[in-house]
Each structure stands twice: as C-alpha cells, then as structure tokens.
C-alpha cells in the first residue's frame, strides 16, 4: 500500500494499493488507443474540454485547499494560492495553444507548398513532486493535452489525492476515456514504465538523484525527458536596493512553504553598504513567523513534510555551524519546533562561506545563509559558484545593471525585485544540475511535440 502520512499529526490521510503489472499494462494500452482519437480532435475542442476542467477545478477550490494542507502541511491560509496559480497556468497555456501549435510556413517557393507542423509525441508520463503538487503537474498536463497527447500522471505518495482530483475534474469536464489516467506506482514500477515503448515522453519533477534515475531508465530507448530538479538559489541585494522591499520579498522567498521549494531562496548576498540594515530587518521579520498546526488560521509557517526531513535539515544546519556559521535563531524561540516532529523553526545563518551545506546543498527547509559582498563582481562570482541553476534574483534600482549582471548569471530564470514566481508566459527551465527541458510559454509546447515537415510539389 502507498500511504499519505500527514505531517500535521502523523496520521494516515490516504492510502492506495500500488498498481499491479496487469493494471499498468492495461492503462498503457488504453492510453495509446485513446491518443489516436484525441490527436484528431481540433484544438478548439480540446480547449473547450480543458476550460470546463478549469471551471470545475475552481469550484472545488476550498476542498482542494484543505486536502492539500492535510497532505503536505502548507498553512491553510496559503493553500488556496496553489489553486489560483494552477488555474493561471492552465488558462494561459490553453489560450496560447492555437498560436503555439500553428503550422509554420517556410519561405515561398514557386510550385511548392512547404510548412512545419507540430505533432504530438503520444503518451506523456508526468511524474510530479509533492511540494507544489498541482502547480508542478499542471505545467505538463494541460499543454500536453492541448497538443494532442494523452497523459498518465504518477504523483508522489505524499499527495495521492491530488492526482485523483485532477482525474475527477478532467473526467467531469468530458475528457474522453483514457486521455488522462492516474497510476499509483512504486519507484521500480515507474522505471519499468519509463522503459516501455508505449511512453512517448517523460516529464519529471523531483530531486537530482531522482532525475538521474529517470535518465538512466530512459537511456535504454530513444525517448525524450523533461527534468526539473533541485536548486540552491541565490539572491543579490545591491547597494542601491530598496532595503525594506528586499527584506519583505527575500524572507518570504526563503521560508514560504517551509522552504520546500526548488526555487526558494537559500543563498543571500548583500552589499556591505546595506548589509547591517538588511540583516537586522531580515532577522526581525523572520522572528514574526508563527510556527504551528497549518489548519490554524494564525499559522504562517507549517511543518516540513516529515520528521525525517526535519532531522536531515537539522544536520545540515549543524554541519554549517560546525564549519563556522553563526546561527541567529534559537530553536526554543518557536515553541512548536521539537526534535522527532516535522515542526521546525526557521533559521538564519551568518558568517557563512561556500564550504558550508547552507551555501552549496539544496536544504529544502526554512534555512538561509546571508553573506556580505563588496561589489557586483564578487556577488556574480558567488552566485555562479554552484552546481545548480534554476532561478536567481537581484534587488536594485538600476534596471541596466540588473540586465548586465543577469546576462552573466548561469540560471534558467533571472528576477529583478521579485522572486519565487513562475510566469506562465515565460519559459520555466533549469541549467546544470537543476535539469533540462522546458515547461510553460510557447517554448514549452516545443518540448511536448515534434516537428514534421511537409514538402509538397503542387505543380509540375
């Protein structure tokens, strides 16, 4: 049995049997059959079904938000934001599909008609993580369906009900049988499905280790993969930044979702001219978090996903302190923070350097290191000194300086005066160990289709 253990109280919130080999085989056959029909439907017909899905999903937002909080621990006051974000992305990708999927005419040539058509890849296997279970899945599910693919969603055992909620809403919207299906599978069965010739593309979001496992399985055949992996994302607070605005944004970027975000801010570089004011304000705001039961409307910091995750984070903090970092927050300041539970106080580490876990590893918890720098060049070098490259951000009043620095930062997304947000009109992409491929925007459709060239002599 696969179980969803709620971090709120360690109860079993949901459990499902792992799919049998016969069920997996039948699901793949059903998907392949359904895709032959679905690909022949018009983009307008697909859009009509998926827009109905959006309306149905939105109507269930309160129940979805409550389920989400129980499954992964985000404070209930914030869980509805994921519903809104999911709908924003879905509706944008539906709206741009006619343009993104339109035929591309080649230059005119006498007596010939020449164009490129984007064809669906077939059966898309989406493997989604638990930390943003709807936002992660929607990045591939909706554009894959709009492009004429069919989708099999394998979600984390931590968020089993999110996969089923997708399925219920899509079925209610009138999606034909077999076009979207859910499989609850073990890691071993998931790897076997990746190797199956009926799968046309794999969209994976998870850890770097998980990405390597997906890539090893996919390497046995010629199948494409999209990999959104880890991050240890940097931010630079420049000497001309609006410090109060930077503090508000950076603290939220570091600790929202209890720091369990691949694009959460973890490495904070601050120019020496504003370092003192920034650190003072940052620590003051961090101490205002309310750690507790995420069902309590006063809670602003929920538990991490499980007690073992909290202990791993504590070990990474301790290793950074042993290497010379100075902790600013006493865990006792947050009464709910206790060893052996998923409840963990936020932490700020000063006197850090790049030998420490906080500045080189993905911690995936409410922890950030703050480091003083004396120039743009030093900040740039430190920001690039990482194996990751998902997002990076700068706070500055100088747009040209932000552009100049951004051009040299090795990252998939570069922010100015904001962070931790996916604009569906822009490509979501990582470099280095943060992954490969792309979701969202018109470019995202290129990864869920293949170009097919039509070269037609119309007159002889």
Q: Are residues 68 and 170 in the same domain?
A: yes
Q: What is the mean pLDDT of residues 211-223?
A: 95
The maximal CA–CA distance of the chain, rounded, in angstroms, is 84
Q: Is residue 331 part of a domain?
A: yes
In angstroms, the Cα distances linking 299 to 284, 287, 359, 415 are: 17, 13, 28, 28
Write down the pLDDT at residue 191.
Answer: 97
Q: Are residues 104 and 125 in the same domain?
A: yes
Write down the pLDDT at residue 420.
Answer: 83
Q: Are residues 25 and 137 in the same domain?
A: yes
Q: What is the mean pLDDT of residues 122-150?
A: 98
Q: Is residue 423 part of a domain?
A: no
Write down the pLDDT at residue 49.
Answer: 98
- Rounded to the nearest angstrom, the gap between the alpha carbon of residue 199 and the centroid of all alpha carbons in its chain is 22
Domain count, the chain: 2
Q: Where are the beta strands (DSSP E) in 185-334?
A: 201-205, 224-228, 233-237, 265-271, 326-327
Q: Are residues 376 and 255 in the same domain?
A: yes
Q: Is residue 276 part of a domain?
A: yes
Q: Are residues 84 and 176 in the same domain?
A: yes
Q: How many other C-beta atoms lie within 10 A of the C-beta of residue 297?
A: 9
* pTM reported for the whole predicted model: 0.96
Q: What is the mean pLDDT of residues 125-136?
A: 97
Q: Are residues 47 and 95 in the same domain?
A: yes
Q: Is residue 105 part of a domain?
A: yes
Q: What is the mean pLDDT of residues 207-211?
A: 95
Distance CA(223)–CA(210), nearest Å, equals 17
Buried b (16+ CB within 10 A) or exposed e, 50-61: bebbbebbbeeb
Q: Is the dihedral of CA 128, 133, 135, 141 positive or negative?
A: positive
Q: Are residues 123 and 262 in the same domain?
A: no
Q: Are residues 303 and 353 in the same domain?
A: yes
Q: What is the mean pLDDT of residues 312-333?
A: 97
269: closest CA among 260, 278, 261? Answer: 278
In this structure, the strands spanning 123-128 and 150-155 are: parallel
Write down the pLDDT at residue 128.
Answer: 98
Q: What is the mean pLDDT of residues 163-175?
A: 98
Determine contact, residues 27/152, Cβ cutoff 8 Å. Answer: yes
- 210 Cβ contact partners less than 8 Å away, ≥ 6 residues apart: 204, 229
51 token code pair: 């827009």
Q: Are residues 174 and 47 in the same domain?
A: yes
435: closest CA among 215, 234, 128? Answer: 215
Q: Please, which pLDDT band fits residue 2 given cuts at 50, 70 and 90?
A: very high
Tens digit of pLDDT for each residue in 342-384? 999 999 999 999 999 999 999 999 999 999 999 999 999 999 9
Q: Please, which pLDDT band fits residue 275 given cuts at 50, 70 and 90?
A: very high
Q: Please, which pLDDT band fits residue 460 given cuts at 50, 70 and 90?
A: confident
Tens digit of pLDDT for each residue in 98-117? 999 999 999 889 999 999 99
413: closest CA among 385, 391, 436? Answer: 391
Tens digit of pLDDT for each residue in 392-447? 999 999 999 999 999 999 999 999 999 988 999 999 999 999 999 999 999 999 99
In this structure, the strands spanning 413-416 and 104-105 are: unpaired
pLDDT at 94 over 90: yes
Q: How many other C-beta atoms lie within 10 A of the C-beta of residue 436?
A: 18
3-state secondary structure of 77: coil
Q: Is residue 297 part of a domain?
A: yes
With left for phi above 0 and alpha for psi between -120 and 50, is residue 258 left, alpha or beta?
left
pLDDT at 138 over 90: yes
List the domain range (segments joined by +) for residue 386.
Answer: 233-416
Distance CA(443)–CA(303), nearest Å, equals 36
Share of the chain above pLDDT 90, in %: 99
Tens digit of pLDDT for each residue in 27-84? 999 999 999 999 999 999 999 999 999 999 999 999 999 999 999 999 999 999 999 9
Q: Is residue 422 part of a domain?
A: no
Q: Where are the beta strands (DSSP E) in 273-346?
A: 326-327
Q: Is residue 221 part of a domain?
A: yes
Q: Are residues 176 and 104 in the same domain?
A: yes
Write down the pLDDT at residue 166.
Answer: 97
Determine contact, residues 144/163, Cβ cutoff 8 Å. Answer: no
Q: What is the mean pLDDT of residues 221-242?
A: 96
Q: Are residues 408 and 271 in the same domain?
A: yes
In this structure, the strands spanning 391-395 and 233-237 are: parallel
Q: Is residue 332 part of a domain?
A: yes
Q: Are residues 251 and 121 in the same domain?
A: no
Kindly report the average pLDDT of the chain as a whole number: 97
3-state secondary structure of 333: helix
In angstroms, the Cα distances linking 64 to 59, 81, 99, 141, 381 are: 10, 11, 32, 18, 43
Write down the pLDDT at residue 172.
Answer: 98
* CATH code of residue 136: 3.40.605.10
Share of the chain above pLDDT 70, in %: 100
- 144 Cβ contact partners less than 8 Å away, ≥ 6 residues apart: 120, 124, 126, 150, 151, 201, 203, 448
* CATH code of residue 299: 3.40.309.10
């Amino acid at each position: 049995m696969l179980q969803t253990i709620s971090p709120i109280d360690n109860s079993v919130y949901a459990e499902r049997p792992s799919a049998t080999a016969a069920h997996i085989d039948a699901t793949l056959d059903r998907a392949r059959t359904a895709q032959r029909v679905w690909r022949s439907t018009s983009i307008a017909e697909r859009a009509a079904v998926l827009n109905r899905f959006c309306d149905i999903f939105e109507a269930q937002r309160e129940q979805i938000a409550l389920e989400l909080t129980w499954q992964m621990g985000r404070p209930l006051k914030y869980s509805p934001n994921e519903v809104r974000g999911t709908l924003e992305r879905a509706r944008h990708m539906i709206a741009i599909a006619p343009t993104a999927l339109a035929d591309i005419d080649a230059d005119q040539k006498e007596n010939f008609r020449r164009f490129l058509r984007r064809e669906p890849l077939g059966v898309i296997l989406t493997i989604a993580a638990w930390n943003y279970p709807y936002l992660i899945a929607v990045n591939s599910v909706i554009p894959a369906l709009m492009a004429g693919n069919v989708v099999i969603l394998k979600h984390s055992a931590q968020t089993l009900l999110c996969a089923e909620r997708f399925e219920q809403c899509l079925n209610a919207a009138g999606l034909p049988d077999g076009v979207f299906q859910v499989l609850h599978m073990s890691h071993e069965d998931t790897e076997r499905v990746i190797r199956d010739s009926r799968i046309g593309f794999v969209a994976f979001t998870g850890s770097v280790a998980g990405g390597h496992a997906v890539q090893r399985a996919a390497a046995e055949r010629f199948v494409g993969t999209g990999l959104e992996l880890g991050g240890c994302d940097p931010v630079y607070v420049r000497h001309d930044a609006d410090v109060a605005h930077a503090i508000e944004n950076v603290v939220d970027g570091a600790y929202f979702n209890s720091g369990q975000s691949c694009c959460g801010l973890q490495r904070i570089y601050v120019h020496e001219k504003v370092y003192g004011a920034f650190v003072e304000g940052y620590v003051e705001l961090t101490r205002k978090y309310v750690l507790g039961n995420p069902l309590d409307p006063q809670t602003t910091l929920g538990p991490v996903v499980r007690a073992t995750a909290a202990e791993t984070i504590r070990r990474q903090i301790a290793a950074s302190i042993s290497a010379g970092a100075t902790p600013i927050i006493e865990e006792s300041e947050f009464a709910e923070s206790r060893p052996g539970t998923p409840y963990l106080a936020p932490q700020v580490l000063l006197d850090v350097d790049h030998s420490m876990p906080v500045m080189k590893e993905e911690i995936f918890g409410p922890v950030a290191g703050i480091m003083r720098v004396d120039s743009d060049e030093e900040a740039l070098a430190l920001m690039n000194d990482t194996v990751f490259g998902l997002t990076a951000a700068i706070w500055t009043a100088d747009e040209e300086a932000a552009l100049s620095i951004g051009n040299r930062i090795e990252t998939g997304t570069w922010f100015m005066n904001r962070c931790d947000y996916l604009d569906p009109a822009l490509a979501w992409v990582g470099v280095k160990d943060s992954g490969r491929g792309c979701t969202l925007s018109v470019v995202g459709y290129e990864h869920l289709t293949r170009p097919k060239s039509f070269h037609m002599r119309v007159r002889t």
